[in-house]
Amino acid sequence: MIQLKSVNKQFGAISALKNIDLHIGPGEIVGFLGHNGAGKTTLMRIITTYLPVTSGRVMIDGKDVLKSSLAIRAKLGYLPERPPLYLNMTVKGFLSFAAHLKNVPFREVGKAVDRVCEECWLTKVKGRIIGTLSKGYQQRVGIAQAIINDPALLILDEPTSGLDPLQVVQVRELIKRCEHQRTVIVSTHILSEIENLVSRVVIVKQGEIAADAPLVELLYNSQSKNLEEAFLKLHPVYEKN
């Protein structure tokens, strides 16, 4: 599904990514971990085709992102850390708008809205103004807009940030339901959270991949009891939020 070969990204004199090689197969749920500024968001923006590479090659579903960015965007869903919501619109109106933007066929828009509302547990608030909803519901609306076009690839940046414990559990269950249906990349700094979501962990450190392994293998090789302990061995100065 995703293949990066010798990817580098420069912002002036700053090397944000250095010689990244990465392969992610269909149906995987992969977690990107790292400090703020480690390069996680840059890596995700390159995969979503919003940022070009300085050098190297990125292939999504067999297509080169530099040559087929529009075709690739039609197959992916993206939820940034701050969901792109219009707070004065109803949930149904906003999702219909998102469906049109993502070229969902006109006759299928209603079915697509009903589908994502059911998947994201939004049916009972479909007629509500988004700005009147709790942050947990707004996060669900953000995920719903990301999957309205039924993407093969779903990319979520800090999907549980700022949610209360119950909302975190609900969003986690929503993401887990995507397993095997689509490829999912989750970026977060909350170690205990990602441990409950993903089967594979990619740790990014200073623009490089410091570790890339199935969660079970990473814990075993580092002789750690949990992901936090394994991560601290790679990032001894990591500060929990």
pLDDT given at position 59: 94
Q: Are 9 and 46 in contact (CB under 8 A)?
A: yes
Q: Are 148 and 95 in contact (CB under 8 A)?
A: yes
Per-chain mean pLDDT for the chain:
86
| Structure confidence by residue, pLDDT tens digits, 48-68 | 998 999 999 999 988 999 888
**Looking at residues 11-27, what average pLDDT do you find?**
92
Q: Helix, strand or coil for residue 169?
A: helix
| Rounded (10°) CA dihedral 214, 147, 241, 18 | 60
| Measured distance between the N- and C-terminal CA atoms of the chain, rounded to whole angstroms | 33
| Structure confidence by residue, pLDDT tens digits, 188-201 | 777 766 777 788 88
Residue bearing tokens 């397993």: 179
| Structure confidence by residue, pLDDT tens digits, 91-109 | 999 999 999 999 899 999 9
Q: What separation in angstroms does the CA of 239 have from each of 36, 181, 188?
A: 11, 34, 13
| Structure confidence by residue, pLDDT tens digits, 155-176 | 998 887 777 788 788 888 888 8
**Which amino acid is located at 60 in the chain?**
I
d(CA 223, CA 84): 41
Q: Calculate the CA 209 to chain-centre distance.
A: 17
187 DSSP β-pair partners: 32, 157
Local confidence band at 233 (pLDDT 50, 70, 90 cut-offs): low
Would you say the pTM of this structure is higher than 0.95? no
The angle formed by the CA atoms of residues 159, 42 and 23, to the nearest 5 degrees, is: 85
Task: Return the CA Rg of the chain.
Answer: 18
Residue bearing tokens 């990014």: 204
Say yes or no to pLDDT of 69 above 80.
yes
